[in-house]
Amino acid sequence: MRCPELLCPAGDRECLDAALMFGADAVYLGAKHYGMRAAAKNFDPDALCEAVQLAHAGGVKVYLTANILPRNAEIRAFPQFIRDAEAAGIDAVIAADLGMISLIRQHCPSLAVHASTQTGIVNYETANALYAMGVRRAVLARELSVTEIADIRAHIPDDLELEVFVHGAMCMSVSGRCLLSEYMTGRDANRGACAQSCRWKYALMEEKRPGQYFPVDEDGDGSYILNAKDLCLMPYLRELAEAGVSSVKIEGRAKSAYYVAGVTNAYRCAMPYLFADPPQPVPAWITEELFHVSHRPYTVGFAFGPRKDLIWHEENSYIRDREVIGIVQKSEQGRLYISQRNRFFAGDTVEILMPGKEPPVLTVTDLRDGEGEPIAAANHAVMDCSFACALPVPAGAFLRRG
């Protein structure tokens, strides 16, 4: 059984570095325009060229998101944008709008086109229609089951690849086509500026009783009736591959570099076990890594049919049980050199997240500042410091505390 491509998010250069270091086969990222994550830092033209060169040096592909629903002024400027993106060396462009797909085929006929999940692909006729337009990968809607995915695979050309989301935030609206944010805040979700209005706390108010809020749920504290849980399909990657999926995608272009590192590392480490012949149990520490990044309660979504456990009826705050306290700059002569991110102290018990290994646990001893002077605490923002560590640790590893 062949492992699918592991496709990881890169909202900025730091996240890109994390994805590359922790095992991505491909990354998807956005430019300053046309992408569905306006809140992410994204990449200007020069940064995009650098990102492509860096990824390709490691054998990693780069897919550019151009998946908004553009207005007239934007569609006029798009041909030059996509020509510049192709010149930067991207491997494919992810698009949702049919007009944009047509323009890509006209102006960059050799550039691979992936149909975004925003297209809402839930049947093989849609997939085949997009294939006729020149699309060579369909990013399927999250609402499909594994059985439905296999049915689509059986009715499409062999060279039309299928990609699915397997981890991260889910939208309560079908394939993300939502008007709630636009209506309530003026921020258009279909143009990358979603305010996540679905995750706010709601109660019922009757017209003639202003100021009296009635619960929609039995707990009397309001209701998060639209607040979706996070998707997690790590245990079922083999089933997805057997259904014909060739790329599995982690959501998170607005997430931190630590999130990208932790989730990418977990999926990469799990794959050799899941795709062994016969499959082997995934070690507990790998699965536990998915709970050491910020997340909502997990669900398998619609992978095995309609479910009733998709909504989290609690306050919209992430679950966190680890705090990043530093990023490793180098390891030499028995010391670990850190760029501090959150305060920590001599004597603290810490973990080191690094690629492909269970995070080692150690105690901070002989803590020193950037000048080599002994200190009791690293308590200044982004300060340089070091402490004793006999383990070889790569630059870019994350130091964290429970």
Residue 244: closest CA among 135, 112, 126, 148: 148
Give dist(CA 142, CA 60) in Å, integer: 25
Domain assignment of residue 378, yes or no? yes
The domain of 126 spans: 5-175+229-299
Alpha helix (H) residue ranges in 205-256 = 237-242
Domain assignment of residue 11, yes or no? yes
Same domain, 46 and 92: yes
Say what the pLDDT of residue 258 is. Answer: 98
Say what the pLDDT of residue 203 is. Answer: 74
Could you tell me the strand order of the sheet in which 368-369 lies?
361-363, 349-353, 398-401, 323-332, 335-340, 384-388, 368-369
Give dist(CA 24, CA 16) in Å, integer: 9
Question: Among 284, 299, 314, which residue terminates a domain?
Answer: 299
Domain assignment of residue 215, yes or no? no
Domain assignment of residue 199, yes or no? no
Domain assignment of residue 192, yes or no? no
Same domain, 56 and 129: yes
Same domain, 290 and 342: no
Query: Which tokens is 290 given?
Result: 């998915």
Q: How many other CB atoms are found less than 10 A from the CB of residue 179?
A: 12
Question: Among 299, 315, 333, which residue terminates a domain?
Answer: 299
Same domain, 163 and 34: yes
Same domain, 294 and 339: no
Q: DSSP 3-state assignment of 72?
A: helix
- Quote the DSSP letter at residue 105: H
Domain assignment of residue 49, yes or no? yes
How many separate domains does the chain show?
Answer: 2
Same domain, 279 and 328: no
Same domain, 237 and 134: yes
Same domain, 245 and 361: no
Element holding 330 (H helix, E strand): strand 323-332
Beta strands in 31-160 (DSSP E): 61-66, 92-95, 112-115, 137-139
DSSP-assigned beta bridge partners for residue 268: none
Same domain, 103 and 250: yes
pTM of the full predicted structure? 0.89
Element holding 125 (H helix, E strand): helix 124-132
Q: Which is it for strands 323-332 and 361-363: parallel, antiparallel or unpaired?
A: unpaired
Using the structure block, give the residue that is written with the tokens 């699309």.
135
Question: Among 260, 283, 299, which residue terminates a domain?
Answer: 299
Same domain, 234 and 374: no
The number of C-alpha atoms within 13 Å of 185 and in the hemisphere containing its C-beta is: 13
Sign of CA dihedral 169, 173, 175, 180: negative
Domain assignment of residue 194, yes or no? no
Domain assignment of residue 213, yes or no? no
Query: Which tokens is 255 given?
Result: 């997430």
Per-residue pLDDT of the chain (402 residues; tens, 9 = 90+): 789 999 999 999 999 999 999 999 999 999 999 987 666 688 999 999 999 999 999 999 999 999 998 999 999 999 999 999 999 999 999 999 999 999 999 999 999 999 999 999 999 999 999 999 999 999 999 999 999 999 999 999 999 999 999 999 987 766 666 777 776 788 877 666 788 787 777 777 877 888 887 666 545 455 566 778 999 999 999 999 999 999 999 999 999 999 999 999 999 999 999 999 999 999 999 999 999 999 999 999 999 987 767 877 666 678 889 999 999 999 999 999 999 999 999 999 999 999 999 999 999 999 999 999 999 999 998 999 999 999 999 999 999 998
Residue 300: closest CA among 396, 395, 358, 234: 234
Residue 363: closest CA among 342, 381, 344: 344
Would residue 221 be called left, alpha or beta, if left means φ above 0 and alpha means ψ between -120 and 50 degrees?
alpha
Give dist(CA 124, CA 147) in Å, integer: 13
Element holding 109 (H helix, E strand): none
CATH of the domain at 345: 2.40.30.10
Same domain, 56 and 117: yes
CATH of the domain at 250: 3.20.20.380
Same domain, 25 and 95: yes
Element holding 169 (H helix, E strand): strand 161-169
For residues 384 and 340, the answer to whether their CB atoms sit within 8 Å is: yes
For residues 329 and 337, the answer to whether their CB atoms sit within 8 Å is: yes
- Quote the DSSP letter at residue 274: H
Residue type for position 85: A
